[in-house]
């Protein structure tokens, strides 16, 4: 008995040791980023490194912010992420509703085709889409950065699964009370699906916030860039002013980090659900 207890104790100790050192390894880059962003130029490059800066140099944030139109980058990112996630969820709700609760001609074929599009690497579509966006006159516009991303097959799939779990008897009785299709969606399905909808919104928001290549291609003017693209191009010009780069990287990460901390349950459950088939 004692031997078993000792064994379990040793196993626990080992697990804690691995998890704690692993967590430190995971977080160290972020801690180093934050620490660097508060240093003077000299401190940032000092060897041996300064772990905790003497004084917190808040002006790094102001200086970096002033070297490129970061205010615009943030506004753009917020607008694009909210519009993409919000609009995307609305359109996906409509499509998922049709797939989950309606019987129609071509349903299975269309659904299979949509699922098939998930196989297509984005890069195949990038060149022709660039030409389309140019032809539409959508370079450097919000619509060029939002509209193509409103249709997410992945979210449709996720929501369809959820909607299918809502019993059809509900629709039967709602119908007797004179409830129409759209009313049923709006008054019953949507309120019942808030957890799934917020997971979908969150996944799309983070995906949009972090998007890089599309924005890089579809914008020329600095004022239309988003935070990641603005940050990447700022980093090309900032040389070895790492304290400024890290200050701006900190700002780029904070909104996503806060959102993630606030909604981690929906988020983690949403991700976990995608893996269960």
Partner 1 sequence: MIRNRKRYWLETGKAYLYLLPVLVILGVFTFYPMVRALHLSLHRWPLVEIPGRREREFVGIENYVNLLNHPRFLRSLRNVSLYALFSVPLSIFLAIGLAILLNQKLRGRALFRLAFFLPFVTPAVADALIWRWLLDYRFGLINYFLRYLGVDPVAWLTTPALAIPLLVILNSWQTVGFQGLILLAGLQGINSQYYEAAKIDGANAWQQFRRITMPLLTPQIFFLAIISAISAFELFTQVFVLWVGSPGPVASALTPVFYIFETAFRRHRMGLASAAAYILFAVIFVLTLIQFKVSQKRVHYDQ
Longest Cα–Cα distance in the chain:
77
Sole binder of partner 1 in the list 6, 10, 19, 71 (CB under 8 A): 19
Sole binder of partner 1 in the list 47, 52, 112, 176 (CB under 8 A): 47
- Token pair in block for residue 18: 């691995």
Return the residues of window 214-273 that contact partner 1 according to CB under 8 A.
217, 227-229, 231-232, 235-236, 240, 242, 245-246, 249, 252-253, 256-257, 260-261, 264, 267-268, 271-273
Beta carbon of residue 37, minimum distance to partner 1 (angstroms, whole number) = 10
Place of tokens 């970096």: 64
CB of 173 or CB of 220, closer to partner 1: 220
Return the residues of window 56-85 that contact partner 1 according to CB under 8 A.
none
Is the distance from CB of 159 to CB of 93 less than 8 angstroms? Answer: yes
44 part of the interface to partner 1, by CB under 8 A: yes
Q: Rounded CA gap, 204 and 210, in Å?
A: 10
Beta carbon of residue 63, minimum distance to partner 1 (angstroms, whole number) = 17
Q: How many Cβ atoms sit within 10 Å of the Cβ of residue 119?
A: 6
Beta carbon of residue 169, minimum distance to partner 1 (angstroms, whole number) = 18
209 part of the interface to partner 1, by CB under 8 A: yes
| Number of residues this chain uses to bind partner 1 (CB under 8 A) | 89
Q: Rounded CA gap, 15 and 20, in Å?
A: 8
182 phi/psi in degrees, rounded to 5: -70, -40
Let me know if 131 is exposed, middle or buried by CB neighbors in 10 A (0-12, 13-18, 19+).
Answer: exposed
CB of 72 or CB of 181, closer to partner 1: 181
- Token pair in block for residue 236: 């090309």
Beta carbon of residue 177, minimum distance to partner 1 (angstroms, whole number) = 19
3 part of the interface to partner 1, by CB under 8 A: no
Beta carbon of residue 194, minimum distance to partner 1 (angstroms, whole number) = 20
Return the residues of window 116-155 that contact partner 1 according to CB under 8 A.
117, 119-132, 147-148, 150-151, 153
Sole binder of partner 1 in the list 2, 29, 52, 172 (CB under 8 A): 29
Q: Rounded CA gap, 12 and 7, in Å?
A: 9
- Note the Cα 187 to chain centre separation in Å: 28
Sole binder of partner 1 in the list 30, 115, 142, 223 (CB under 8 A): 30
Burial 258-270 (b: 16+ CB within 10 A, else e): ebeeebeebbeeb
């Amino acid at each position: 008995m004692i031997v078993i207890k000792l064994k379990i104790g040793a196993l626990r100790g080992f697990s804690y040791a691995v998890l704690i050192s692993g967590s430190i390894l995971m977080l160290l880059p972020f801690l180093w980023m934050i620490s660097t962003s508060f240093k003077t130029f000299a401190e940032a490059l000092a060897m041996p490194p300064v772990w905790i800066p003497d004084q917190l140099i808040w002006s790094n944030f102001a200086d970096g912010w002033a070297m490129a139109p970061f205010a615009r980058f943030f506004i753009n990112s917020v607008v694009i992420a909210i519009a993409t996630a919000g609009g995307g969820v609305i359109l996906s709700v409509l499509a998922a509703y049709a797939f989950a609760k309606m019987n129609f001609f071509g349903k299975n074929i269309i659904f299979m085709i949509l699922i098939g599009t998930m196989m297509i690497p984005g890069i195949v579509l990038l060149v022709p889409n660039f030409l389309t966006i140019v032809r539409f006159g959508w370079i450097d516009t919000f619509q060029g950065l939002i509209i193509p991303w409103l249709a997410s097959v992945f979210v449709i799939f996720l929501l369809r699964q959820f909607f299918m779990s809502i019993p059809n008897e509900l629709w039967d009785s709602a119908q007797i009370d004179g409830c129409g299709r759209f009313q049923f969606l709006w008054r019953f399905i949507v309120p019942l699906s808030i957890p799934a909808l917020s997971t979908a919104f969150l996944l799309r928001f983070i995906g949009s916030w972090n998007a890089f290549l599309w924005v890089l291609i579809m914008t020329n003017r600095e004022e239309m860039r988003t935070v990641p693209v603005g940050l990447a191009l700022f980093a090309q010009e900032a040389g070895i002013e790492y304290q400024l780069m890290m200050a701006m990287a900190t700002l780029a990460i904070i909104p996503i980090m806060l959102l993630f901390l606030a909604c981690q349950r929906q988020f983690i459950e949403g991700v976990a659900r995608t893996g269960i088939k």
